[in-house]
Every structure is written in structure tokens, then in C-alpha cells.
Amino acid sequence: MRWFLGLVLVVALITGVLYGVGRFLLSNDLEVTRTVSIERPRAAVFAMVNDLRIAREWSPFYARDPDADYSFSGDPGEGQSMRWASNVRDVGRGRMSIVASAPNEAVESILELGERATLNSALTLRPGENATSVAWTVTAQCGDGAINVPCRYMNLIMSRQVGEQLDSGLARLKTLTEQLPNVDFESLNPQFSTVEPQNFVYAVVETSANDLTEIRNAEELGIQQVRDFMARYALTPSGPLVRVVTLHDIAANRMSFRVGFPFSGATPLTVVGVQIGQTPSGQAMNVLVEGNARQVQMAYAQMYAYLQAHRIPLREGGLPWEIVHQAPSADGSTPTRMEIFIPLQ
């Protein structure tokens, strides 16, 4: 009987010690942070973390069961959410919601793992020299009551497991982001709209792609052809000059584009020297650009980089076009002012 009482006392003592250590020495909070340096501008990184549909491509949580049933609601950023249901025991059912989003700076989310746990996630972006530093922090807090002390001990195990998952996710994020063009589009202000077609009289211009003087002279000849035709048939322009790029091959030094004006009025029965059709239309992203030829080229690069980072598909066979509100002067003292449109699927 004495040995039994002694055993009870030993068990009680151990239990008391474990309880005391857990209650007073172990943290009530789980907090794990991992970092990575990504050699791309922070706007590209932000595009990858601010949309839960894109985040699936690198998230370690999604990788645990890509075949689960996933559903999404809301646009990228604050308010967007993702639900999942999986037959994999460790994945189960849950929900992830973006609760705060600061453009190009931070994204905060809540990860609800059913009755098992609720995790808080924060991704913070810091621009550096030719790279973006990304810090990913996951936190959780033990509840009150009988589960508090066991939860504190579980934090010791969870800290390592969560850290490994964060490392895995950040490595995948780095790989995918560094596959994007190394173009900073943070200053870009894109607009999205549905463009209606208009009747369009234009000339086809073919020239070199690298000689700006040749391009300008060839375009002026084409524009004059269009103006002469419109004057002959009393056609009234219904908008600014439109330029539709059909070929721009720097390597082969070849460029081809249509240049002309939308017009109102009856379409002439006889068309010589020019062509008549319709301006491009449909879903498009557009950006207003004011500057020189180099700045126009940069705007194109930024637009395509933006679309690729945000996983916005281009329209198959669609041609970019420009609406020229102000043509540049020959001496460069007056910059061009135009809208660039890229057709979307």
C-alpha cells in the first residue's frame, strides 16, 4: 500500500512540476518568423501575396492537398477569402481571409483551421538594393481553461513545424517571383474597361523598328494619306489619332502599324490608298503616358510585367493600340501624351 501511495505522490509531484513549468515558464503565445530576399521589385512580390488565388501557387498550406475542394470570394486584397474541404486528415476544412492589405507593404490574414486552431499571418515587404526583403510571421494564442497548459507544450512542437512550412513557402515564393520580368511597375496606374468599336480609316505603315526619325516620317506620310482621304469624302474625325501596332520586331528591325482616325458619317463606297475598318475593342487595360519614346517603351514593359505578375491573361491574337492625344514635337520640346491599351481575355 505504501508503494502505491508513493507512486501517487510521485505522479502528483511530476504533474505539478509540469503544470508549473507550462503555466509560468512556457509562453502562452506562438510566434514564428521567417525571412527571404527576393530579387524582384516589391510590386511584383506584392502581386504574388495579395491574391489568394495566386498564393495557392506557393503556399505550403495549399501544397499539403492540391486536390482539395477550394472556393474563393472577393477581389484581391482586404476582404478576399478562401475556403477548402479536404479528405486528408491533417488538412480537413478551413478558411483563410485577408483582413488588412497595405499596397506594396504588407498583407495580414487569418487562418481558421476548424476547431483545431486559429492562426494570424502577416507578410511584410521591405525594399532593398535590387531586392525585396519578405518577412512572414505566424502567431497564435492559447485559449483559457483546461487546454491552456497542454497548448503551451504544443507550441514547442508547433513552432518547429510552422517554421519549416514558412521556409518552404518562402522558397517557393522566391522561385516563382524571380521568374517574372525584372521590371518595377509600382508607379503604374492601370485602368480596366470595355472599349466600344468605332469606324476607323487608316493607313498601313511599315518601317524599321530602331530608327525613330524613319518611324516618325513614315507615320506622317500615312497620316497625310488619311487626312486627304477624309477631306475628299467629307469624313469627320470622331476622336484622336489611333495607332494599332501589328508588328514590333526589334531583332529583325521591322515594325508595322495602322494609323488613322475614328470617324462618323457614311462609309465611302470607293476606298483607294487607305483602308477602312473598326478600331480595336473589348476588355482592355490602359495607361496614360506622357513623355518621350523611351518612357513609352518603359510603360509597355511595365504593363506586360503587371499583367504577368497578376496572372491576367492576354487576349489571344489581340493587338495593342494607342490613342494619341498629343504628338511629340520634332525637336522633343513637347512630349507625347497617349493612352496605351492592351487587350485582355
Q: How far apart are CA 225 and CA 232, in angstroms?
A: 11
Q: Residues 318, 343: contact at Cβ < 8 Å? A: yes
Average pLDDT of the chain? Answer: 85
Confidence label for 154 from pLDDT (cuts 50, 70 and 90): low
The model's pTM: 0.84
- CA gap 235, 263 in Å, rounded: 6
Asked if 139 and 34 touch (Cβ cutoff 8 Å), the reply is no
| 266 half-sphere exposure, CB direction, 13 A CA radius | 4
Residue 337 has pLDDT above 60, yes or no: yes
Question: Does pLDDT of 92 surpass 90?
Answer: no
User: Quick one: pLDDT at residue 149?
Assistant: 44
- Residues 123/35, Cβ–Cβ less than 8 Å: no
Domains and CATH numbers, the chain: 28-177 (3.30.530.20), 191-343 (3.20.80.10)
Q: What is the mean pLDDT of residues 6-26?
A: 41
The pLDDT assigned to 231 comes to: 92
Q: Enter the C-alpha cell of residue 169.
A: 513557402
- Distance between CA atoms of 82 and 70, rounded to whole angstroms? 7
Burial 196-219 (b: 16+ CB within 10 A, else e): eebbbbbbebebebeeeeebeebb
User: Which amino acid, residue 333?
Assistant: S
Q: Please name the residues in contact with 218: beta carbons below 8 A apart, sequence gap of 6 or more.
A: 205, 206, 207
pLDDT in tens, 107-142: 999 988 766 678 889 999 999 889 999 999 998 765
Q: Between 284 and 21, whose confidence is greater? A: 284
Q: Which of 97-106, 233-242, 262-271, 336-345 has the lowest mean pLDDT?
A: 262-271
- pLDDT tier, 77 (very low <50, low <70, confident <90, very high otherwise): very high
Q: Report the distance separating Cα 97 and Cα 110, nearest Å.
A: 5
The percentage of the chain sitting over the pLDDT mark of 90, rounded to a whole number, equals 59
Q: Phi and psi for 228 in degrees, rounded to 5?
A: -60, -45
Residue that wins the pLDDT comparison between 329 and 314: 314
Q: What is the DSSP secondary structure assignment for residue 135, as one 8-state letter?
A: E
